[in-house]
Amino acid sequence: MEDNKVVLLDWWASAFAMRVKIALAEKGIKYESKEQNLFNKSQELLEANPIHKKIPVLIHDGKSICESLVILQYIDEVWHDKSPLLPSDPYRRSQARFWADYIDKKLYSTGRRVWTGKGEDQEVAKKELIELLKTMEGELGDKHFFGGDTIGFLDVTLVPFTSWFYTYETWGNFSIEAECPKLIEWAKRCLEKESVANSLPHPHKIYEYSFELKKKLGIE
Amino acid sequence: MAEVKLHGHWTSPFSYRVIWALKLKGIPYEYIEEDLSNKSPLLLHYNPVHKKIPVLVHGGKPICESMIILEYLEETWPQNSLLPTDPFQRAVARFWIKFAEEKGPTVWMMFRSSGEEHEKFKKESLEMLKTIEEMALGDDKKFFGGDEISLVDIAFGAHAHWLGVIEEVAGVKLLEAHKFPRFHAWIQNFKQVPVINENLPDRDQMVLTFKRIRESLLASP
């Protein structure tokens, strides 16, 4: 299948954009990455995602696809002959979707409350974050990856957030590894894959940036 | 053929999404009404994470979250298809399903609140409805996806019946016909589909129930 022009509207620290980069790499799809300025949004971004004005946006043959999990499923369906992300069995697909939805409902907002929060709010958020990561650990069980022997939809959905763990831990003054060792081992296994290693920035870079991000967001 | 069971609640639009999909596809199922004020051990066993309905149980295996259930039904029983076959059209459908999931609750939040909060959620609800009117619906389409009903219509189904009840009970008019002509046309088209028409909770009963809910919410400190 010929790869017609694929463009990704990107932002280096976005876990949601990292998901798409991993998927594109897994499938061996060539694409152009266009780094966006989220504090001064480009005309291209506003036209590609007029409703949410957010990244990531995948533009394939001039058509925009928004929402990272929608993009993942689109990539899986169009480039279906290589490295499938979702399993073929409908029940297993429903479970992968369920846990991806769980992550989307909780992880970003809870993580944000941890690294930007203070006092009691931050303590509550830390507790919630550990609880949800422990739940994911339980779901992983003894498997190598959430997808089984190879990384799948759920691995791609969750692993980008691990690049933010150092930021959560340092601002929150706690250790995720101490509470969820198996999840950290899983993250390390994922990072052995080139597609993941090349898509996730070094956690320290994100932490360094978080100071600037706090200023930009008007948080003390 | 393994048996299909649906655990639901008669007032829930999420529960009805599953009923509509099951009936549109002609899938036989057993319905179990759950008491949400006293959740059954079975429900908590099937949905330990969210403890909510609807839950679909197929051959003893549970699936939770209504739109995830619907994708499962679509993949397991492909007849009377509720999603397009083209990957880009499917991505558009899933985008609007996600929008419905994320933004739909603002109407309920408006219903549950008073004062400044209520005004805030009212504003957000109107913005949501405006986006749907202007960006999701077209003048020449009967339904969100074209001529046939699809998962997107089902995802927005709450606005076709529950929204009117909320408007009446909360004394708020959101979906005025002259401001939302496409939305009003879609509601007519949607409710004329026999499966939808024959599977809606009784409006008078809903008004009574929602009145009670609103009274108790506004009375509590």
User: pLDDT grade, residue B93 (50/70/90)?
Assistant: very high
**Which amino acid would we find at residue B130?**
K
In chain B, DSSP assigns E strands to 4-8, 30-33, 55-58, 61-64
Does the CB of B179 have a partner CB in chain A at under 8 Å?
A: no
pLDDT of residue B173: 96
Q: Identify which of A71, A77, A97 has the shortest CB distance to residue B71.
A: A97
Q: Please, where are the H alpha helices in A27-89?
A: 43-48, 68-78
Q: Which residues of A touch B75 (CB under 8 A)?
A: 90, 93
Supply the DSSP string of B17-55, one letter for each residue.
Answer: HHHHHHHHTT---EEEE--TTS--HHHHHH-TTT--S-E
Min Cα–Cα distance to chain A from B92, Å = 7
Min Cα–Cα distance to chain A from B94, Å = 6
CA–CA dist B54, B36 (Å, integer): 11
Q: Which residues of A touch B95 (CB under 8 A)?
A: 65-67, 70
Mean pLDDT score across all residues of chain A: 96
User: pLDDT grade, residue B180 (50/70/90)?
Assistant: very high
pLDDT of residue A3: 52
For chain B, the maximum distance between any two Cα atoms, rounded to a whole number of angstroms, is 53
Mean pLDDT score across all residues of chain B: 96
For residue range B15-30, list pLDDT tens digits in order: 999 999 999 999 999 9
Q: Which residues of B touch A66 (CB under 8 A)?
A: 95
User: pLDDT grade, residue B219 (50/70/90)?
Assistant: confident
CA–CA dist B27, B1 (Å, integer): 11
Min Cα–Cα distance to chain A from B125, Å = 15
pLDDT of residue A208: 98
pLDDT at A1 over 70: no
Q: Which residue's entry shows tokens 């007849």? A: B79
User: pLDDT grade, residue B2 (50/70/90)?
Assistant: confident
Enclosing H/E stretch for A58: strand A57-60
pTM, rounded to two decimals: 0.96
Mean pLDDT, residues B152-172 taken together: 97
Q: In the numeric block, which tokens belong to residue B180?
A: 């939302």
Q: In the numeric block, which tokens belong to residue A82?
A: 């290589």
Q: In the numeric block, which tokens belong to residue A143?
A: 């498997």
* A to B CB pairs, distance under 8 Å: 56
Do A65 and B95 count as a contact with CB atoms less than 8 A apart? Answer: yes
Q: Which candidate, B71, B68, B34, B76, places its Cα nearest to that of B52?
A: B34
Min Cα–Cα distance to chain A from B199, Å = 25
Between β-strands A6-10 and A57-60, what pairing exists: parallel, antiparallel or unpaired? antiparallel
The side-by-side arrangement of strands in the sheet containing A6-10 is: A32-35, A6-10, A57-60, A63-66
Mean pLDDT, residues B186-211 taken together: 98
Alpha carbon B190 to chain centroid, angstroms? 12
Interface test mutation site (partner B, options A98, A135, A157, max chain B beta carbons within 10 A): A98
pLDDT at B139 over 80: no
pLDDT of residue B218: 86
Q: Could you say which residues from 51 to 70 on chain B have a Cβ atom under 8 Å away from some Cβ of chain A?
A: 58, 61, 63-65, 68-69
Does the CB of B94 have a partner CB in chain A at under 8 Å?
A: yes
- What burial letters (b/e) apply to B89-108, b meaning 16+ CB within 10 Å? ebbbbbbbbbbbbebbbbbb
